[in-house]
Amino acid sequence: MQPLVRVLSRVSLAVGGVLLVVGLAYFFVPKYRQMCGLKEHCRLLRNQVEAKQRGNRELHEWQGRLQTDPEFAARIAHENRRVFPNETVFVFDGK
């Protein structure tokens, strides 16, 4: 009877160990996948924020050039069809 108890106890420990490993995997694998997905989403959002910041810097640069460079202001006015060819563009000093 002693060997049978020993075999049954080893089998029950093995089954318990397997169930423990499967249970831990069942709990942690979805959380790990979710974490990886959130990291990717975070990376994409950071790239979008950086792109918007670059766009903002470019717009601020253009705004500065519109205020300080009359030729640039005239070119932009012509490109946006605010001023037609052979028309005079007046740039007023805001001071």
Residues 6+ positions from 76 with CB-CB distance below 8 Å: 62, 66
Under the banding of pLDDT at 50, 70 and 90, the label for residue 17 is very high
pTM over 0.85? The answer is no
* Contact between 74 and 89 (Cβ < 8 Å): yes
For the chain, give me the number of helices (H) and strands (E)?
A: 2, 0
Mark 2-25 as b/e (b = at least 16 C-beta within 10 Å): eeeeeeeeeeeeeeeeeeeeeeee
* Residue 3 pLDDT greater than 70, yes or no: yes
What pLDDT is stored for residue 87 in this prediction? 75
C-alpha to C-alpha distance for 88 and 77, rounded to whole angstroms: 11
| Tokens, residue 90 | 């007046």
pLDDT digits (tens, 9 = 90+) for 21-64: 999 999 899 999 999 999 999 999 999 999 999 999 999 998 88
What pLDDT is stored for residue 77 in this prediction? 81
